[in-house]
Amino acid sequence: MKINEVEAQVGITKKNIRFYEAQGLLAPRRNSENGYRDYGPEEVEALRQIKLLRKLGLPLEEIRRMQAGSSTVGDGMRRHLVSLERERRSLEQSIEFCRALKDREEPLDALDAGALLEEMEQMERSGMTFKNKQQGDTRPIRYAGAIVVAVLMTALMAGIIALMAWAFAADPQDAPPLPLLVVLMAIPAAVILGVLLALAQRIQEIQKGEENDAKNY
């Protein structure tokens, strides 16, 4: 089974599938004829297990221990429940903190943020954690790389087409026959089409919520 078929069957993006392979959670065989990855029922089931456990919030290391047999499902869930309980207590504390602020009608300029931050930091020192949304404020624009590459490649191929057309117009007698020229110009045109299709697919993957390795793992 090819990766596209696995993506459709399991509902995990190709990017995620390759990431799990790089993390050692998945080891598909290679087709001896073409060298492509060949996903069988075992890999499909492993991906379903990974998808389930990740939806429950288990870290990759815990999943790795389960796959290796050094930890049972129950062992992993007990450890994860401890983490979830800690998160729940922290969430409850955040809710209480917000409730304490909801009746304050002063403008933001009058809010003593320093005193409130000191109070929060004291609570954090006692084991509480608050959601730190500012950590995501510097997330890089994930479209930029793909768009830059697509623009450069498209410009290069368009330049080649323009150069061919100019050469034919400048000296039609020494230029290749028109049918051959059309074929030659069709090659960079096909490359442009392929680049644009790849860019569209890449953007679609990102919009579908493709997981950011550094942020989510």
- pLDDT more than 70, % of the chain: 88
Tens digit of each residue's pLDDT (9 = 90 or more) over 17-67: 999 999 999 999 888 777 788 899 999 999 999 999 999 999 999 999 999
- In this structure, CATH architecture of domain 3-68: Orthogonal Bundle (1.10)
Of 112-121, 123-132, 193-202, the poorest mean pLDDT is in 123-132
Exposed / middle / buried, residue 11 (Cβ in 10 Å: 0-12, 13-18, 19+): exposed
Please say whether the beta carbons of 72 and 109 come within 8 A.
Answer: no
Tens digit of each residue's pLDDT (9 = 90 or more) over 143-199: 677 788 889 999 999 999 998 888 888 877 777 788 888 888 899 999 999 999 988
* Domain spans, the chain: 3-68, 79-132, 144-216
